[in-house]
Chain A
């Protein structure tokens, strides 16, 4: 259903910056009806890859095919028709603030110049499907994050697309809401056979609903396959990190309850060094470290919570501070 061949994307240099090689020689094939996940750290090129699929970005090299059509070759008008068959949902929902829930869902149908009666029936049905019929006349500002994403999903499905692209669709939501949104996506996939391509930096999302996964790093796909085999036997260091994170999240109770509790945030660049220090401390059993899923920042950095006896916690923090270039922000 989605086929990327030999894709490279280089953003030209801007204001003296170096050109950015966002994607390098990427091949990807997503079968019809499949739920395919792409996981990677911030800046890995996930969003760029996704935006190529509906032509929001054009590849520097390579071809993009969706449902047999070569997206990069389409004339403007054909591209618009193709886009109606490729839904997209976003991390920050991107709803129109000036329209009610009902009018937001009607938007893509209006743009496709569908008759009024068709629009009315379709919107009512979609709101029913995502469980928001009673909020039809509310404005987005009056909804919770989960409800907003439901509107986003209903809107993306309005023109009966064959493909649904999800860009960090649950990253702004808390864990419970995340799982209810994922349930909804899985249900839609099962009922309509829609193909889902979703990108995320949370391994739990991939584990929850994806059939296959590709791990991205530095503009390339470094590992791919069935979810169980990729995460069960991680080969690339990035994949291993994702697996480690999740194990810790599962093994320690969150939130950490202690008077000695300490949190610190580290950026993606510091991650490698931080893991190296924390790993042994945790294995010794003297401190407990957890990562709040909510604190997994979109910048790819994350916030850790350390729990344990004061001297143990301090010792670990000292060793973190010793690390050159490592700036640990501690909030006690």
Chain B
């Protein structure tokens, strides 16, 4: 039963998963970081106190975090047709993936930025920095290590989400495991896809930890 592994399919599926996870990690960071920054700086006692902004962002983030991922997938695949022109395949799958992971990462960013010593922010303000300069030159650099390790966690989550999104039409290793493994009673395919997913997680974790450690100057 291990002899019928269709390597061509496996490699194509691996490529699709890497593509889905890569694209969605990139956009997750792109949306998550500004959202996380907004959540922090607009809060009470912070550098740009704006309660209604804080409430609005927090509410949106919480709603997206509360909806189970599988529901997001079902709702957002149609939206993908509108945004990227197709509701099938890995590109379409990135839409629910980003929608699920960006709010999650925004909260991680928020926590990381809140960890930055308030005294350092105050010192920067006392030297005449603008709020923008404080964000770019103090908050983000001081939190880089935590931001990277948070992105690693998010990326690992995205790998497992991508397997789920795959099953409902996104392609990738999850889809291959389901169709060519589970449904075709081919345990070899099933196991191989699983092993590859585990290896991807390990690789991401390893790279993320390495960068995070390099950047930690504490």
Chain A residues in contact with chain B, CB under 8 A?
54, 56, 79-84, 86-88, 90, 92, 94-99, 107-108, 110-112, 139-141, 155-156, 158-159, 165
Contact of B128 among A81, A139, A140 (CB under 8 A): A81
CB-based nearest A residue for B145: A98
Looking at chain B's contact residues, is the secondary structure mostly helix, strand, loop, or mixed? helix
Among residues of A, the one whose C-beta sits closest to the C-beta of B118 is A94
> Residue among B119, B128, B218 with the most chain A CB within 10 A?
B128
Q: In the complex, which residues of chain A have a beta carbon less than 8 angstroms from the beta carbon of B138?
A: 96
Least CB distance, A53 to chain B, in whole angstroms: 10
In order of increasing CB-CB distance, the 10 nearest A-B pairs are A83-B128, A94-B123, A94-B119, A108-B127, A80-B128, A84-B128, A88-B126, A98-B141, A111-B129, A139-B217
Q: B213 in the interface, Cβ–Cβ < 8 Å?
A: no
B133 at the interface (CB under 8 A from A): yes
Q: Which residues of A contact B128 (CB under 8 A)?
A: 79-84, 108, 111-112, 159
A contacts with B: majority SS? mixed
What's the least CB distance linking B67 to chain A, in Å? Answer: 32
CB–CB A96/B141 < 8 A = yes
Residues of A within 8 A of B122 (CB): 56, 90, 94
The answer on a CB contact under 8 Å between B129 and A97 is: no
Chain A nearest CB, measured from B132 CB (Å)? 11
Q: Are B218 and A111 in contact (CB under 8 A)?
A: no
User: Is the CB–CB distance between A54 and B126 below 8 Å?
Assistant: yes
CA distance A140 to B141 in the complex (A): 14
Which of chain A's residues has its CB closest to B126's CB? A88
Is B49 part of the contact surface with A, judged by Cβ < 8 Å?
no
Asked whether, in the complex, the Cβ of B130 is within 8 Å of the Cβ of A80, the reply is: yes
The answer for the CA separation of A107 and B141 in the assembled complex, in Å, is 13
Given A94-B117, A94-B120, 16 additional A-B pairs, CB 8 A: A56-B122, A83-B126, A87-B127, A94-B122, A96-B142, A97-B117, A97-B120, A98-B142, A107-B137, A110-B137, A111-B124, A111-B128, A111-B129, A139-B217, A155-B127, A158-B127
A108 to B138, CA, bound (A): 12
| B160 interfacial by beta-carbon distance below 8 Å | no
Known: A90-B119, A110-B137. A97 touches B218 (CB 8 A): yes
Task: Kindly state the separation between the CA atoms of A156 and B122 in the bound complex, as whole angstroms.
Answer: 13
- Shortest B168–chain A CB gap in Å is 42
Complex CA distance for A201 and B123, rounded to whole angstroms: 21
Cross-chain contact A98 with B127 (CB below 8 angstroms) = no
Cα(A226)–Cα(B137), bound, Å: 42
